[in-house]
Chains A and B, each alone.
Chain A
Amino acid sequence: MLMQPMKSHQTVSRRGVVQGLGGLILAVALPGTAHAQSGAAQVLKGDGGAVAAIAPNAFVRIASDDIVTVLVKHIEFGQGPWTGLATLVAEELDADWSQMRAEHAPANSDLYKNFAFGMQGTGGSTAIANSFEQMRTVGATARAMLLTAAASAWNVPVGELTVDRGTIRHASSKREGRFGQFAEAAAKLPVPAKVPLKDPSAFTLIGRDDGSVKKLDSAAKSNGTAQFTIDIREPDMLTVVVARPPRFGGKVASLDAKEALAQPGVVDVKQISSGVAVYAQGTYQAMQGRSRLKITWDDSAAEKRSSDQLIEEYRALARKPGLVARQHGNVEAALKLADKALEAEYVFPYLAHAPMEPLDGFLRWDGNTAVARFGSQLQTGDHHAIAKVLGLPPERVQVETMLAGGSFGRRAQATMHLAVELAEAAKAIGPNRPMKLVWTREDDIHGGYYRPLFVHRLRGGIRDGRITAWSNTLVGQSFLRGSPFEKMIKDGIDATSVEGSKEIPYQVADFRCDLHTTDVSIPTLWWRSVGHTHTGYAVECFIDELLEATGQDPVSGRLALMDKAPRAAGVLRAVADLAGWKGPGPTNGRARGVAVVESFNTYVAQIAEVSDGGREGPRVHKVWCAVDCGIAVNPDVIRAQMEGGIGYGLGHVLFAEVSLDEGRPVQSNFDGYRSLRIHEMPEVEVRIVQSGEKPTGVGEPGVPPIGPAVANAMARLGLQRPRRLPIVRAVS
């Protein structure tokens, strides 16, 4: 997702201690003071921002049975925030890892805002960065209160107490106790105004890499007990599927629901703004009912262009100068003076996120209050959207965040369209009909909100064996335009379109990056690593091509241009070392390609070893990866995210495309929208570069380098760097 992390300046402005459920529970509430900092937040908080305070307004609960539960404000859909935030609390609390648990915090934008957004939400790989100090402060505060309670119970000076792995000790009197026995007394104490945080050199859980800090959700996710939205079952619950227009922007012209309503189990059919909702007793009956609807669609306002047509239009635009995102020197003059000028065009298709669990949501509404449960990624926005549709004040709407089967950006909707559809479906049939809205895979792949189609045109100049000019013209849609996040567009430039192209880690004397933002009514959205999904490929392929043209090595040639990018250079050196880099090859039919991309303040370099698989496309055998994400909170989660990012990135670069035929998406399920499978997954080796910098995210940054690393290896195999993705289309 987008949204650059902003500074998280937090002080403890309000504290509360509440007695919670089931006995002795200490809850410490530590809301930050960061105010709405982004345009998005201002818009979303425009209607007063009064959000219900939902007890127990807390980040941590310590129960009499010693269990420490961290309430995690970021949604867990695989990137590890439950484990990460619990690690931060446990570190300062000096808890034992085995006593730690995590659950989702309720929706509450004051208490649980993401400091990077100014409202509650997850994305932009911000979870650890934004919670690093906050959750440590929570842990340290709870620790201080437990110690005070223990000191007074034992009648000893608090300064003589120590805590180790969940046990409080007073050495000279040989007394010891567990957190649980002091939780009740601690809950009655005033909250200390200021608590010291550990010096990083004293960390025992943060950065621990001996396998003892296991993820908190692995067991439930290995035995089928983890509860996702699609698993919600309630008495009298209806299941809803929606027939949506086959073309984006289409509207229902006429509807005949007779046959659908005659289907067994179908309860009702209603028109809502996104299409026609079918309500049934079960999922299959709802799908069967939907297939019997007779709808004629009015496509007069719909988008009817095909992908090929859009690409031709974009290519023509790329020949004209766009709005300048950044420039220095005089690139046109430098290109004229060059001994050699290179030009390359790269075409990136629309991509669906296709999270394993398609979109879904549960809503119960009695006309007066509502409870929504789903994998909400922007809780504040979803909360307000539901309240608005149902005509309720936000404090009468509760949003509970569920585990979600992946997102990759899909659940963070600028338009909150899922929350709106859910609430509209409820409203259309009337109160007291609890319902679960389910999207099928076809709904998902046809559903839009794609990574936008982009065309890049790059021109580079070489003079005296040096790269002297770099020009990058981008053409594509902005998903911020027309959304509540529109204020983030500055001087006509959507930063998420040009991130990664506007600033490159290489020093080139004459530089320009310009942008054409197109008007196409295909809904688009941030997709795992956002602009870097295309800029990383274009920039890293083109620099490699220029280095090849000047006879330079891909690693040392890059490094020679990276004086002003020390951390990017650091990961490049690290990955070259890890892979035992001796040049790109090919050796024994295998070549190696390199790429390095910074995204979300995390630096990742990858080397891919590739052979030519003929019509099957390139075969990627092994990927070496070095990452610098500041202080490594959970090294194994970082490795997992690099592995997953590489697999996700590779699958899309190789196989994935949503193409449009006169505006209609052609692919509809995993047969056409091909996903990476286990036999296509390379071996992966990850090195985490030691760093004392503040931690940054890892959910997205593993994605961008893999595509260009593979393309650059292909070039060394005598194949071309694929100019149009996906690669397998280019090869066949």
Chain B
Amino acid sequence: MTFQLSVNGRSHAVDVDPSTPLLWVLRDTIGLTGTKFGCGIAQCGACTVFLDGKPLRSCALPVSAVGSQSVITIEGLSGREAEAVQRAWVARDVPQCGYCQSGQVMSAVALLTEVKKPSDRDIDLAMTGNICRCATYVRIRAAIHDAAKSLEG
């Protein structure tokens, strides 16, 4: 079946089985491989993308459910929050293996878009769906606080 998807502001016609998770359409069909596969069952957050601006696990969303909603992946991330988060990530040298970090960055950007000055508790709630097997959590937390600070004023 053919679906018309809006991904990172561009329209893509994809011919795939309706049950195909958005993750695999992004990675295998469209070729946007920044979004990662970690579990396939909405447990790890490696596949986090924005659907109409809200963070979502793309491994658990069949392409048929996307409809006209806009999809933003790590490749299409932009704006003040995104820049602040990515700058803070590099400044803190957050990534180790790096494999989970696309998902971490997406969730962090979503948090800062929603909550300007997140508390530790806000960070726990927003980021608990993102597993980092390298356990870079100390730096993720610090970098989110840094990014929030850099966005002040």
Binding site for B on A (CB under 8 A): 77-80, 214-215, 217-228, 230-231, 233, 239, 264-265, 282-285, 288, 354-358, 403-408, 440-441, 636-637, 640, 643-648, 650-651, 669-671, 675-679, 681, 683-684
Contact yes or no, A647 B131, CB < 8 A: no
Contact yes or no, A218 B95, CB < 8 A: yes
Chain B residue contacts of A404, Cβ below 8 A:
97, 99
The chain B residue sitting closest to A224, CB to CB, is B34
B6 interfacial by beta-carbon distance below 8 Å: no
**Which of A224, A265, A640, A678 contacts B96 (CB under 8 A)?**
A640
Contact yes or no, A678 B75, CB < 8 A: no
20 of the cross-chain contacts (CB-CB < 8 Å) are A214-B93, A218-B94, A220-B98, A223-B86, A224-B35, A224-B74, A284-B21, A284-B28, A355-B133, A356-B36, A356-B38, A405-B36, A405-B97, A406-B99, A637-B93, A645-B135, A670-B44, A675-B133, A676-B137, A678-B127
Chain B residue contacts of A285, Cβ below 8 A:
17
**Which of A222, A231, A651, A670 contacts B94 (CB under 8 A)?**
A222
Give the distance to chain A from B49, nearest Cβ to Cβ, in Å: 11
Additional A-B contact list (19), CB under 8 Å, known A406-B97, A681-B137: A218-B90, A218-B93, A222-B89, A222-B95, A224-B74, A226-B98, A230-B33, A231-B27, A233-B31, A233-B33, A264-B17, A285-B17, A356-B100, A636-B93, A640-B93, A644-B135, A670-B39, A676-B137, A683-B138
Chain B residue contacts of A220, Cβ below 8 A:
98
B41-59 interface code vs A (CB 8 A; 1 in, 0 out)? 1011010000000000000
B128 interfacial by beta-carbon distance below 8 Å: yes
Chain A residue contacts of B131, Cβ below 8 A:
356, 670, 675, 677
Contact yes or no, B36 A678, CB < 8 A: no
**B49-108 CB contacts (< 8 Å) to partner A:** 73-75, 77, 86, 89-90, 93-102, 105
* CB-CB nearest 3 A-B residue pairs: A647-B135, A224-B34, A405-B99
B7 interfacial by beta-carbon distance below 8 Å: no
Chain B residue contacts of A640, Cβ below 8 A:
93, 96, 136, 139
Cα-based distance from A227 to B86 in the complex (angstroms): 18
Contact yes or no, A223 B134, CB < 8 A: no
Contact yes or no, B97 A357, CB < 8 A: yes
Cα-based distance from A405 to B131 in the complex (angstroms): 13
Chain A residue contacts of B96, Cβ below 8 A:
78-80, 406, 640, 644
Contact yes or no, A356 B99, CB < 8 A: yes
Give the distance to chain B from A359, nearest Cβ to Cβ, in Å: 12
Contact yes or no, B99 A357, CB < 8 A: yes
Interface SS of B by simple majority: loop
Chain B residue contacts of A637, Cβ below 8 A:
93
The chain A residue sitting closest to B125, CB to CB, is A679
The chain A residue sitting closest to B85, CB to CB, is A222
Contact yes or no, B39 A669, CB < 8 A: yes
Cα-based distance from A678 to B141 in the complex (angstroms): 8
Contact yes or no, B28 A643, CB < 8 A: no
Given contacts A224-B102, A647-B135, contact A678 B128 (CB under 8 A): yes
Contact yes or no, A646 B135, CB < 8 A: yes
**Which of A231, A288, A440, A441 contacts B33 (CB under 8 A)?**
A231
Cα-based distance from A671 to B86 in the complex (angstroms): 29
Given contacts A224-B74, A406-B133, contact A217 B95 (CB under 8 A): yes
Cα-based distance from A357 to B36 in the complex (angstroms): 8
Cα-based distance from A579 to B24 in the complex (angstroms): 48
Interface centre among A80, A214, A222, A223 (most CB of B within 10 A): A222
Contact yes or no, B29 A644, CB < 8 A: no
**B106-153 CB contacts (< 8 Å) to partner A:** 123-124, 127-128, 130-141
**Which of A233, A284, A679 contacts B20 (CB under 8 A)?**
A284
Given contacts A230-B37, A356-B97, A644-B134, contact A223 B74 (CB under 8 A): yes
Contact yes or no, A678 B140, CB < 8 A: yes
Give the distance to chain B from A97, nearest Cβ to Cβ, in Å: 13
Contact yes or no, A651 B135, CB < 8 A: yes
Cα-based distance from A644 to B132 in the complex (angstroms): 9
Chain A residue contacts of B97, Cβ below 8 A:
77-78, 221, 355-357, 403-407
Contact yes or no, A282 B98, CB < 8 A: no
Chain A residue contacts of B136, Cβ below 8 A:
640, 643-644, 647
Chain A residue contacts of B33, Cβ below 8 A:
224, 227, 230-231, 233
Chain B residue contacts of A681, Cβ below 8 A:
135, 137-138, 141
Contact yes or no, A648 B134, CB < 8 A: yes
Chain A residue contacts of B43, Cβ below 8 A:
669-671
Chain B residue contacts of A222, Cβ below 8 A:
86, 89-90, 94-95, 98, 101, 105
Cα-based distance from A636 to B142 in the complex (angstroms): 14
The chain B residue sitting closest to A651, CB to CB, is B135
Give the distance to chain B from A553, nearest Cβ to Cβ, in Å: 29
Given contacts A354-B133, A678-B140, contact A671 B41 (CB under 8 A): yes
The chain A residue sitting closest to B136, CB to CB, is A644
